[in-house]
Amino acid sequence: MTESVTIDLDGPEATVELGRRLAPLLRSGDLVVLTGELGAGKTTLTRGIGEGLGVRGPITSPTFVIARRHPSLAAGPALLHVDAYRVGSPAEIDDLDLGVDDAVTVVEWGAGCVEHLSDDRLDIVLAPGRSDDGRSAVIHAIGSRWQGCGLSSLVGA
């Protein structure tokens, strides 16, 4: 079952804020897959998720490493931030032995490579928005994990 919500993001701060508001819904073992062109706001959204989870930063584009683990500064889950741009296949992801079970895993460029890691996931698609310089985010909640989780509370609040 899939539930989808669309959110307008009228500037970078709105993208960060969406991440902050998403964070309390996330727990260890969750998978979030971010899709969107270069500059769409994937890392910005990840930064907000990291802030909301209260993990050690800074969260930057992991250009020279494929994955970076940000431990919690409190008792919450770690954030595993993955850039799968140069990963060619699900088998390559498995070879990396990322350790997704004990972290919230957020993957940039993950579509087509990481879906096998979990039965449930959030697919978030970032695209140019209605305003000249904004973005829109479409969140697809996939699997029973997300049934009735209150995703729609993210819209417009």
Ligand X SMILES: Nc1ncnc2c1ncn2[C@@H]1O[C@H](COP(=O)(O)OP(=O)(O)O)[C@@H](O)[C@H]1O
Give me the least distance between CB of 119 and ligand X, in Å please.
26
133 binds, among ligand X, Mg ion, none (CB under 5 to 8 A by kind): ligand X
Rounded to whole angstroms, the Cα distance separating 94 from 88 reads 11
Q: Which residues contact 133 (CB under 8 A, 6 or more apart)?
A: 11
Per CB under 5 A, the list member of 7, 9, 41, 42 interacting with Mg ion is 42
49-73 per-residue burial string, b: 16 or more CB within 10 A, e: under 16: bbbbbebeeebeebeeebbebbebe
Rounded to whole angstroms, the Cα distance separating 92 from 128 reads 30
- Taking CB atoms, the residue at the shortest distance from Mg ion is 43
The rounded Cα 25 to chain-centroid distance in angstroms is: 12
77 binds, among Mg ion, ligand X, none (CB under 5 to 8 A by kind): none
Q: Looking at beta carbons only, is 13 or 102 nearer to ligand X?
A: 13
35 binds Mg ion (CB under 5 A): no
157 binds, among ligand X, Mg ion, none (CB under 5 to 8 A by kind): none
Query: Is 155 within 8 Å of 9 (Cβ atoms)?
Result: no
Q: Looking at beta carbons only, is 91 or 127 nearer to ligand X?
A: 127
50 binds, among ligand X, Mg ion, none (CB under 5 to 8 A by kind): none
List interacting residues with Mg ion (CB under 5 A).
42-43, 61
